[in-house]
Amino acid sequence: MQLYLNLIAILLLSGIALLNLALELRRDLMMLQQNSYRAERYMRWLGTSADTTSWIRLFSYLAIGCLLLPAVPTVLACTLSMLPLLLNITQLATARYKKPLVWTRRAVRIYSVSGVICVAVIMLAVLFMGMSRMAATVFVALYALSHVVVLMSVKILDPVERHINKRYYNEAKNILESMPGLVVVGVTGSYGKTSTKHYLTRILTEQFNVLMTPGSYNTTMGVIRTVREMMQPYTEVFVCEMGAKNVGDIKEICDLVKPQMGIITAVGEQHLESFKSIENVQRTKFELADSLPQNGVVYVNNDFPYCASRKVDNTACIRYSVGQQENSDFWADNVSYSAEGTTFNLHCPDGKSIEFATCLVGEFNISNLIPAIAVALRLGMTVDKVKFAVSRIEQVEHRLNLKRTPAGINIIDDAFNSNPDGSRMALDVLSRMDTGCRIIVTPGMIELGEKQWDYNKQFGERIAKAADVAIIVGRYNRDAILSGLKDANMPEQDVHAVDSFTQAQELLMKIAGKGDTVLYENDLPDTFK
């Protein structure tokens, strides 16, 4: 009878362990994908997230210990081992992610190889141990080492991925070489590049057939996919967003698309965890300028010191700014904005001043508009056509996007990303809202390396001056922001710390009313807590 009960317990534990493993590998793959499939970034996330030492995993380690101890009865050991696995299955089955796993072909390959590795281990365990207590221990151990399994799969597939990527690269290269009349405009910067890309595309569409890299397809493989899947023989202008996490990333994209024109929107302290220094950020962003031909042109934002101080000698360099700066060729002044939009004057190199009106709000959006207007004028568009396009530009989702709810609450949606300069400008917009209560909902800023605490503390100090109520989401930057709010003497009753955006929304439903303005500043992905 006891042997029968032991076998049932072992079989039940094995089934639960394998189901848990399948779900856990899927989640591990999602996190790997959010880290761009880069093993070093994924391992860094494992170290900072404490995912390998969560209480459920620690419970599973304890369960493995119980299974390995002969003194613990089999039924008891199996029952104890099922508990963390069942809890994890429940969590994984009910979890909702901001950026769920996308089943790309690469993701399918990694998951398949991970499955093959696990099946091989399981078959060996059953072959040598039978359906025994030790075999069940191996099944539970696979869950405990699921991160290792995924990393092994990435390593095994590395030659395959390189071969596939090379084939895709050559296909994209051949397509581009078959279009000698194509104008390629590269857009890069620490921030503002996606908005600038959208604004430029909208303006140029008034006269040209334009293709832009969609979404955040700003890596080499993202650009390759855009060219292979979306480029048409009749495309006249290709607006190519170029992102980077490491030195050389921009040059790699430029070597492929060979831009004739470029826009560098900003050089700031973004992604310092990977770049290590602001000088490396500058060097990488200006790889775009360095790659341009002698008869090309690059537009550089003089509002950023590490842009203004960088000389460009290999191609024409046109500089721009909000407010007149030394050596600026294009510059905007008389900026006036409200909940309805913005008006401003743009001063041009020929001495003319053009008045523009747009539904966009915020100084940073004006900064992103200037090079888009300048490129359009250089490509031969008339002033009237450009003015019309600027007046019709729609706000880019989650990038200082202004809207109003049916309840009469103004929403400033700047949730896509946040950085020291962008957050300052977003708070400036919030501070100018003169009706109702001004509320900010934010988890703070990330990827700022050793300066992350200092910048988030300063962020808290600025919040105290611009907002009436602060809702700090999550724990990642909580202490730093709260420290800044305290130093700036923001009343404690106006400061709320919550663990999730769901809790923030529940709080807003209680405190926000008609005429109030809510700024959503940043929304951290699932890799941050």
Q: What is the mean pLDDT of each run of 10 residues along the chain (529 residues)?
A: 71 85 91 85 79 76 77 78 84 80 91 93 84 79 89 94 94 95 95 90 96 88 94 96 89 96 88 74 93 96 91 95 88 79 90 90 86 96 95 71 77 72 77 82 78 83 87 84 86 86 83 84 56
Beta-bridge mates of residue 528: none
Do 402 and 358 contact (CB within 8 A), yes or no? Answer: no
Strands 341-347 and 330-338, sheet pairing: antiparallel
Q: Is 380 exposed, middle or buried (0-12, 13-18, 19+ CB in 10 A)?
A: exposed
Q: What is the pLDDT of residue 258?
A: 96
Q: What is the pLDDT of residue 259?
A: 97
Closest CA to 80 of 2, 132, 13: 13
Specify the pTM.
Answer: 0.72
For residue 234, what are the contacts with CB-CB under 8 A and spacing of at least 6? 209
Angle at alpha carbon of residue 196, lines to 194 and 200, rounded to 5° = 120
Tokens of 76: 């008891």
Q: Is 393 helix (H, G, I), strand (E, B) or coil?
A: coil
Closest CA to 199 of 383, 322, 372: 372
Q: What is the pLDDT of residue 289?
A: 96
